[in-house]
């Protein structure tokens, strides 16, 4: 007699804790497996913030300082936020030595303009984490220090296209509880123009066994 050995879960995905987790089978009955990032996005944990577009780029800081950023994702009590990817496109080197960096701290960012994070699963749930963006260093962050700030990625540019502009950040660090992941972009003399996007995952501490 035929029996069901797997069902599609209709439970609310994302930050809901305590729902049943059902095995995912393909039509042949084989179990489906996938990488952590894909599974997390399917479960509604993935989000992205961005600033500037191809036809309307934004301007970087002059020059990078230790207390200013162009974009930040703020985590909060009970949350875990982990960056997955940073993508940026330098439209024009207006000054000299454009620099970009992605960092994280255990302090929230302030200032800037609030932005609603885009779910990487279109039609997915809203983020609990919050975001701030502003070009030319308009987001305030705690001063960069080797004792409190985690450096996830950094590079200088001397000519167009001479360092990675699509950076895999998964596994380089995460914010547990209150804190933020932020991006700084700047040049010497005059701010260069660019557009960029920071993608990340958010979980509750309990979902990751940290609560």
**pLDDT interval class at 14 (50, 70, 90):** low
pLDDT at 64: 83
Q: Per-residue confidence at 63, pLDDT binned at 50, 70, 90?
A: confident
Helices (runs of H) and strands (runs of E) counted in the chain: 1, 17
pLDDT value of position 31: 81
pLDDT in tens, 153-202: 998 887 766 666 899 999 999 999 999 999 999 888 888 888 999 999 99
Residue 21: helix, strand or coil by DSSP? coil
Average pLDDT over residues 25-31: 79
Pairing state between β 118-119 and 179-188: unpaired
Using the predicted structure, report yes or no on whether residue 5 has a pLDDT greater than 50: no
Query: Is the overall model pTM greater than 0.75, yes or no?
Result: yes
Asked whether the predicted pLDDT for residue 80 surpasses 90, the reply is yes
State percent of the chain over pLDDT 90: 59
* Rounded CA Rg of the chain: 19
Q: What is the mean pLDDT of residues 141-151?
A: 96
pLDDT surpassing 70 at residue 13: no
Kindly report the average pLDDT of the chain as a whole number. Answer: 87
- Three state DSSP letters for 187-209: EECCCCEEEEEEEEEEEECHHHC
**Residue 58 · residue 170 · CB < 8 Å:** no
Higher pLDDT, 155 or 81: 81
The predicted structure's pLDDT at residue 3: 43
User: 100-124: per-residue pLDDT in tens?
Assistant: 999 999 999 999 999 999 999 999 9
Question: What pLDDT score was predicted for residue 21?
Answer: 58
Segment 50-76 shows an average pLDDT of 92
pLDDT band at 1 (very low <50, low <70, confident <90, very high): very low
Q: What are phi and psi of 41, to 5 degrees?
A: -65, -40
């Amino acid at each position: 007699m035929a029996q069901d050995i797997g069902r599609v879960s209709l439970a609310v995905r994302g930050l809901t804790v305590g729902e049943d987790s059902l095995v995912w089978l393909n039509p042949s009955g084989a179990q489906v497996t996938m990488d952590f990032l894909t599974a997390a996005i399917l479960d509604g944990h993935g989000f992205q913030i961005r600033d500037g577009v191809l036809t309307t780029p934004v301007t970087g800081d002059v020059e990078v300082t230790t207390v200013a950023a162009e974009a930040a994702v703020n985590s909060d009590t009970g949350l875990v936020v982990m960056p997955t990817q940073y993508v940026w496109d330098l439209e024009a080197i207006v000054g000299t030595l454009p620099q970009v960096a992605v960092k994280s701290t255990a302090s929230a960012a302030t200032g800037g303009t609030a932005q609603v994070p885009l779910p990487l699963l279109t039609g997915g749930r809203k983020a609990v984490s919050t975001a701030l963006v502003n070009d030319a260093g308009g987001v305030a962050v705690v001063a960069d220090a080797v004792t409190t700030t985690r450096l996830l990625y950094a590079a200088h540019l001397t000519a167009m296209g001479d360092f990675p502009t699509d950076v895999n950040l998964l596994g380089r660090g995460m914010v547990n509880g209150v804190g933020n992941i932020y991006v700084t972009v700047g040049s010497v003399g005059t701010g260069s123009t660019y557009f960029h996007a920071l993608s990340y995952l958010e979980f509750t501490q309990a979902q990751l066994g940290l609560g």
